[in-house]
């Protein structure tokens, strides 16, 4: 056998052993959000939370944060053909509905071409824009909003 083949074979064997062996250090520190409930068991249904319905817009905590949705959207239809968000937020309806207009960035396709309609890459609003729930945090959070310079 050639030395190159021997080296590749040895590397392959080492890689296989390393990826197939359990790593105890990683497995011991992981804690599930489910708590101590085993997977086949069923957790009790969490209590329903109320959606925050503050008047006005939510404060953004960092640059480029997508705006949060300040109203219920549970029954809004968003699929390949219909997007009910645009009934109020697309131009010119936003003026009639007194709703914030969709950002101009949503009218540009991935190649930078300006469009007269919402780009299909921006069609599914709830990928980025989410309603704000009045619910306890699932995990400890130490995030602090960006402080503006005076």
- Residue-wise pLDDT for 53-96, tens only, equals 656 677 888 888 899 888 888 889 999 999 999 999 998 999 99
Using a 10 angstrom Cβ sphere, with 0-12 exposed, 13-18 middle and 19 or more buried, the burial of residue 70 is: middle
- Residue-wise pLDDT for 92-123, tens only, equals 999 999 999 999 999 999 999 999 999 999 99
Asked if residues 107 and 114 have their Cβ atoms less than 8 Å apart, the reply is: yes
Whole-prediction pTM: 0.59
CATH of domain 49-134: 1.10.1130.10
Query: Can you tell me the distance from the alpha carbon of 121 to that of 109, in angstroms, rounded to the nearest whole number?
Result: 7
- Residue-wise pLDDT for 11-59, tens only, equals 666 766 666 655 555 556 777 777 776 777 777 777 767 776 656 677 8
Query: Can you tell me the distance from the alpha carbon of 107 to that of 110, in angstroms, rounded to the nearest whole number?
Result: 10
Question: Residue ranges per domain, the chain?
Answer: 49-134
Residue 123: partners with Cβ closer than 8 Å, 6 or more residues away: 78, 83
Question: What is the reported pLDDT for 106?
Answer: 95
């Amino acid at each position: 056998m050639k030395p190159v083949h021997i080296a590749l074979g040895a590397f392959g064997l080492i890689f296989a052993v390393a990826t197939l062996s359990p790593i105890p250090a990683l497995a011991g520190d992981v804690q599930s959000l489910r708590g101590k409930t085993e997977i086949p068991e069923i957790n009790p249904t969490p209590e329903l939370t109320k959606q925050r319905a503050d008047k006005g817009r939510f404060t953004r905590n960092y640059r480029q944060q997508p705006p949060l949705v300040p109203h219920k959207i549970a029954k809004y239809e968003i699929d390949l053909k219909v997007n009910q968000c645009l009934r109020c937020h697309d131009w010119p309806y936003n003026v009639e509905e007194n709703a914030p207009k969709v950002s101009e960035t949503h009218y540009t396709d991935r190649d930078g071409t300006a469009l007269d309609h919402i780009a299909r890459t921006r069609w599914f609003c709830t990928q980025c824009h989410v309603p704000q729930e009045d619910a306890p945090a699932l995990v400890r959070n130490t995030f602090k909003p960006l402080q503006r310079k005076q």
